[in-house]
Amino acid sequence: MSGEFIFGWHVVEAVLKREPERLQQVWIQTGRQDKRVKGITAALDDLGVRWSVVHRKELDEKVSGVHQGIVAAVSESREWGEDDLMAMLAGSDKPPFLLVLDGVTDPHNLGACMRTADAVGVQAVIVPKDKSATLTPVARKVACGAAETVPFVRVTNLARCLRTLKDEGVWLIGTAGEAGSTLYQANFTGAVALVMGAEGKGMRRLTREHCDALINIPMQGHVDSLNVSVATGVCLYEALRQRLA
């Protein structure tokens, strides 16, 4: 058996629904016999995927995190690259709506950003391969299944990818505390990519230089910044409000 472990009910159900061929084996904690368990085990039986009921200690030994009583061994998911992204955008009849995370390193933040991206209809999340969190089991758990629905694109050269997006008519809106315009003055209605910086440091210089516009989130209290996943959620929902209107 080769691949990785995933855990949490939402994550396992998302793989079961969308990529069942990846499932290799599933372990469920003793003591649960509810409808959710029966539904998953019946689906696993139909697929011919092995599953077993084990004590919590065995699940604790397999993964680090709150597994909720279910762990699955899966084959590695296909990694998206820049060519895959461009092919996907070319085949879509919707104006691009993308999220770029420039160096977000905390898997919890990445998972939360993926979950919000799925909720608002983002077509892909783009990150650099270096100095950036990947879809670890923890990130997938926090994403609650969104990591299995939203393409996660890792690019070798983020600046080059941003240039390509600009050439394709995508408007790049970056976030920076010192920006002169606010989130609510930005136009998110067309082909757009929201660019968020890393925890603490914000966007790198080259990333900032490729943005067509810089915006800030108005802050009325004593703190001067938001957690990156919270800030991403605030910005993405303003974008969704405009796009729905």
> CA-to-CA distance for 144 and 147, rounded, in angstroms?
8
Annotated binding site: 197, 217, 226
C-alpha triplet 109, 19, 116: angle, nearest 5°: 25
Annotated binding site for S-adenosyl-L-methionine: 197, 217, 226
C-alpha triplet 225, 230, 234: angle, nearest 5°: 95
Query: Contact 119/125 with Cβ under 8 angstroms?
Result: no
b/e map 21-48, b = 16+ CB within 10 Å? ebbbebbbbeeeeeeebeebbebbeeee
Query: Token pair for residue 20?
Result: 């069942």
Query: For the chain, how many residues are written?
Result: 245
Q: Report which DSSP code applies to 96.
A: -
Which candidate, 139, 114, 107, places its Cα nearest to that of 7? 139
For residue 160, what are the CA distances in angstroms to 165, 166, 210? 9, 10, 9
